[in-house]
Structure 1
């Protein structure tokens, strides 16, 4: 039985493309911690150290655990006064319109506490630069009334990588709008999508 959990209208989507903020030292910001619980994640960061284009779902590189990478990213978070709370190993599935095929990528979803928008962008940019990535996907947990909300996340249990890939290939509209998503080793798909694609995303995950 497929079960889903949606964090609708409580996330923001950012892509790191440059260093945020001016010169000067980084300082801890207690106000960036979740109210009443500093150990509650305030942001997520999807990243990898892979620079190759992998199109074979059985490629051995998709089995890597990224342990050293995890330690490196956690260290960057601490250096920027963020609090790493572990990470989830995921397999990314992405549709390439140019190649008209699916690409795969092994990555980790990092759970971070006590980081605000500037902290998150700074950490993401350091990860992007050090590991030669074109972009890093990040989002913050926000209250439903926050005016800057522009995205949401949704998790669906009971989906493997092959099943997610087949669903994405079979749905041209979802391919164009969602581009792709991630699947954990325990069979939970994770999608981050624009608020305008809420209905489309719900329809897509219902069919996977």
Structure 2
């Protein structure tokens, strides 16, 4: 599918690292931040990290690694980019329903409109409806500029996140894989260096 989606002969790589049972992308921020220099974007969300790990454990799953992220998102209402510090949490020993429940608890406790989850699945699994693209050598500033230069990507994908180490993490519906491919390439990433995980995404409120 990646080749058909416009990658040509250059195929993205399958994920080299083992997938956790589930991933949760969440924050405790409820403000709209439009200034990339806003001091709230420098928080490391340390307390939030500990609290979410406690939630995961309390609901029968095992917390794994947690990664600090700089998110850049397009606001159709504001007609400009917004910024957010968040964390990605690996969740082990959890199924679909358990991951959904944990995300719902996080959304409610931190007053979030929704919390994104992703479960790695085989490419051909009936529930597979999305991909997670990870690629090195990307900054939040470059992601911001790429989104502004690509109306299709910002409208269809909404945005993405970058680790402090400069690794892009982009969740996209399968139907928008060509758009994600184009955005990734516009960031200067060679498509064959990107890692792709197939799976199921859900926005839990």
Q: Same fold (TM over 0.5)?
A: yes
Report the secondary structure of 2:87's partner residue: strand
Partner of 2:27: 48
> Relative to structure 1, is the Cα distance of residues 104 and 45 closer, same or farther in structure 2, using a 3 angstrom cutoff?
same
Deviation at 1:40, TM superposition (A): 5.8
Determine the C-alpha separation between the residues in 2 that align with 1:60 and 1:114. Answer: 36
Kindly tell me the number of residue pairs found equivalent between the two proteins.
175
1:167 is the counterpart of 2:146: yes
Deviation at 1:5, TM superposition (A): 6.2
1:66 is the counterpart of 2:45: yes
Determine the C-alpha separation between the residues in 2 that align with 1:74 and 1:66. Answer: 12
Deviating above 3 A after TM superposition, structure 1's stretches of 4 or more consecutive aligned residues are 4-8
> Deviations for 1:37-96, whole angstroms, at most 9, x for unmatched residues?
xx9611100000001100000111101010110111111111111111121000111001
Identify unmatched segments of 5+ residues in structure 2.
1-10, 188-205
> Deviations for 1:75-127, whole angstroms, at most 9, x for unmatched residues?
11111111111210001110011111000000000011111111001100110
Which of residues 63, 73, 80 is equivalent to 2:59?
A: 80
> Relative to structure 1, is the Cα distance of residues 124 and 6 closer, same or farther in structure 2, using a 3 angstrom cutoff?
farther
Partner of 2:132: 153
TM-score (norm 1): 0.81
> Relative to structure 1, is the Cα distance of residues 180 and 40 closer, same or farther in structure 2, using a 3 angstrom cutoff?
closer
Partner of 2:90: 111
> Deviations for 1:151-203, whole angstroms, at most 9, x for unmatched residues?
00001111111111000001011111111000110011110000011112111
Q: Does structure 1 retain, via aligned residues, the 8 Å contact 2:19–2:120? A: no
Q: Does structure 2 retain, via aligned residues, the 8 Å contact 1:40–1:113? A: no
Report the secondary structure of 2:135's partner residue: strand
TM-score (norm 2): 0.82
> Relative to structure 1, is the Cα distance of residues 144 and 51 closer, same or farther in structure 2, using a 3 angstrom cutoff?
same
Alignment of 1:110-149 (within 5 A): 110-149=89-128
Q: Does structure 1 retain, via aligned residues, the 8 Å contact 2:72–2:84? A: yes
